[in-house]
A and B are shown apart, each in its own frame.
Chain A
């Protein structure tokens, strides 16, 4: 949560918050979870109209930011989505749109991008593999050169929006070099198996590429030239997760603090017990530190300045602390906090999923350690 938002950004934040609160109030999230897609497509088109899908895309390609810094603006959306545990394929659609805008062919930019931006089309990013980690070097899916085209062979996991997607952004290797493809989801040989997840409204799938033949028109960028795009996609994903977790834990902290004033035991409000006050103080510290590091990650990713370090620091810190804040807030609520009826588990589910995907806090500590180690040589 930026504390130096411009007037436009503050207004945008307000608009997004009101949209989330009216269209997908937390009280309705369980109901929305009954929808096999996890979201309503008409609602997604409305969200797209508000700018949820187009902030990372330049104006001349149909996108546009609020403040001139689309990454910062998108982080605002992610934080509000976290605050309201709102549905919608925010992360995958933005990642796909950003890379189509950065490296797509004219055909991809004129025929696919507009649909992603106005919410008619859903894109999903096929990145993580069953055997590997979450960093670009862990990608192993092979794209073999066959008759002037490519044949994709391999499996991707935990692909958000896979079942709902019209297009799949596939991160692969051609002769060992990182290459990306934008493939219609109904291409022959693609088999998508829905996966279950902790989150009630986020949908994931396992995508099998069983010898999928695609033409060169499906290349996104150059053969072997995808590393910069993949890194950017990865950093955007980390930032959106951090912002979402910060927003979710921030909202839970707010209503738990309120609860501590309203709930009495032994004739005193919970808020008057020092043992609990000190825990709220710790949570407040973690929360503000989480906002601070998320904001700085947004700046780093936007400017491409120290982005890898700042994104990993934010993911590691917020991934670790946000779930602990929410868990401690469960404790503050007592038994009601672990019931299906209370909303708090919706936030915990969201934060827990964000925490693990695209590298757990521990994975990012290892990565940061290797950066630090290399700096000393």
Chain B
């Protein structure tokens, strides 16, 4: 345990270093989803390298792999102090908090030495290759195949919904290595280099005009057997832990995320208040109630996250309870988009070229993304009903059947 005087000194040290070296976020110019920002990934590397130079990268990672070897209290202090600075959040999630702990847990010694220090330094960025075009919710139904040929796997297939894959270096991929066993037993977790023969990355244009999301195509890509994380055909065990780390990261309980996790409530509040003022509707009871509703969402979301965190620690909640804040975030995201759209009224849909208009219209068009990304809200509802409330599980036609015999979508 760190002594309180050590922690106090650490806080001072972080505060001083950050104010001297890190750029602050600009509240006047938040990231603009319409015009996007292709340089964000590049900038994230610079920011991560900067943190590394100051000794604030990989705070809870072991020293032998380039981390700082400190306890979670230090990371929490760092998170508090970094709140108003521009942080390399792309490194935080998924590289440092989801991919990293999975490699730490299942990787070989060589893999750990090769990969962990490089991303802590900000030299290499990772993505997850989990979802496929054939379906995102049924992750264990992956169709991307890896056929062994001596010391290499020959990889064919496609992955999708990786953020900034074209600016990243490696993907942690769930691939199928055995088709003759039920789906969970024929998977393998594989490190796939992205800028590599046989790997093609395509950016996906989203409804808001952003092109961060990618789809990857593997065409006889040769990947060394040495890149297997965990055991061959036991990739589901690795994936289960990866999902655990993902829930911890998104739920705010991971020691490996760095920088403050924001759920969007605080920012929305400022935006809505600004809209109400701009429209001269401060005294309008309907506008007030909408502001009040956004405040309820902001406050109770924080309170729910806190309750789930406490409940997971005390054992009141089972592990899958991370699905509760996930479902809340989806529904709250929808409602926030609606509130801003309603308050902005016609300016959300028609604006002059000279104005910075339309953001709330675009956010409304993109609204359902909050119920899809990171696992759909339907999946969250399944998890809550089946694994928290213990209601009977949905019938699955692919249980106990060799995967090659499982029926699939017509077009795949």
Spell out A's residues near B (CB within 8 Å): 3-4, 257, 260-261, 269, 271-272, 274, 277-278, 280-282, 284-285, 288-289, 291-293, 295-296, 309-310, 313, 316-317, 362, 364-373, 375-376
Contacts and interface: CB of A to CB of B under 8 A. Distances in A.
Nearest to B378: A278
Interface stretch (B22-30, B104-112, B167-175, B383-391): B383-391
Given A277-B382, A317-B296, A271 B306 contact: no
Given A257-B389, A289-B303, A316-B296, 15 more contacts: A277-B382, A280-B384, A285-B384, A288-B308, A292-B307, A296-B303, A365-B290, A366-B292, A369-B295, A370-B288, A370-B292, A372-B269, A372-B295, A373-B288, A376-B274
Contact of B304 (A278, A292, A371, A372): A292
B402 interface: no
A373 B276 contact: yes
Nearest to A288: B324
B251 to A, nearest CB: 14
A274 B394 contact: yes
B381 interface: yes
B370 to A, nearest CB: 15
Contacts of A291: 307
A4 to B, nearest CB: 6
A273 to B, nearest CB: 9
A328 to B, nearest CB: 14
B316 interface: yes
A292 B391 contact: no
Contact of A280 (B274, B295, B303, B389): B389
B289 interface: yes
Contacts of B307: 3, 288-289, 291-292, 295
Nearest to B301: A289
B324 A293 contact: no
Contacts of A285: 324, 327-328, 384
B293 interface: yes
Given A292-B306, A372-B269, A373-B273, A277 B300 contact: no
A61 B73 CA distance: 43
B4 interface: no
A366 B385 contact: no
A293 B300 contact: yes
B277 A3 contact: no
Contacts of A257: 389
A317 to B, nearest CB: 5
A296 to B, nearest CB: 5
B contact patch SS: helix
Nearest to A257: B389
Contacts of A296: 299, 303, 306
Contacts of B304: 288-289, 292-293
Given A4-B314, A293-B300, A372-B269, A316 B292 contact: yes
A280 B324 contact: no
24 contacts: A3-B307, A269-B392, A271-B391, A272-B391, A274-B382, A274-B394, A280-B385, A281-B381, A288-B324, A296-B303, A296-B306, A316-B292, A366-B292, A368-B291, A368-B295, A369-B288, A369-B293, A370-B292, A371-B292, A372-B269, A372-B295, A373-B273, A376-B270, A376-B277
B299 A310 contact: yes
Contacts of A3: 307, 310-311, 314, 316
Nearest to B307: A292
B103 interface: no
Contacts of B295: 309, 313, 368-369, 371-372
Contacts of A260: 391
A376 B276 CA distance: 11
B371 interface: no
Contacts of A284: 324, 384-385, 388-389
B285 interface: yes
A366 B324 contact: no
Nearest to B284: A369
A277 B391 CA distance: 7
A172 to B, nearest CB: 27
A281 B389 contact: yes
Nearest to A296: B303
A277 B327 CA distance: 14
B67 to A, nearest CB: 32
Interface in B252-287: 269-270, 272-274, 276-277, 282, 285, 287
Most B CB contacts (10 A, CB to CB) among A277, A296, A316 go to A277
A369 B297 CA distance: 12
B327 A373 contact: no
A211 B310 CA distance: 55
Contact of B299 (A281, A309, A370): A309
A297 to B, nearest CB: 9
Given A4-B310, A271-B391, A272-B391, A281 B327 contact: yes
B380 interface: yes
A277 B381 contact: yes
A270 B262 CA distance: 38
Nearest to B383: A281
Contacts of A4: 310, 314
A206 B406 CA distance: 70
B300 A373 contact: no
A296 B270 CA distance: 23
Contacts of B277: 373, 376
B290 to A, nearest CB: 7
A368 B339 CA distance: 15
A153 to B, nearest CB: 31
Contacts of B306: 292, 296
Contacts of A309: 295, 299
Nearest to A271: B391
Contact of B386 (A277, A288, A293, A372): A277
Nearest to B328: A285
A23 B28 CA distance: 61
Contacts of B327: 281-282, 285
A280 B391 contact: yes
Contacts of A272: 391-392
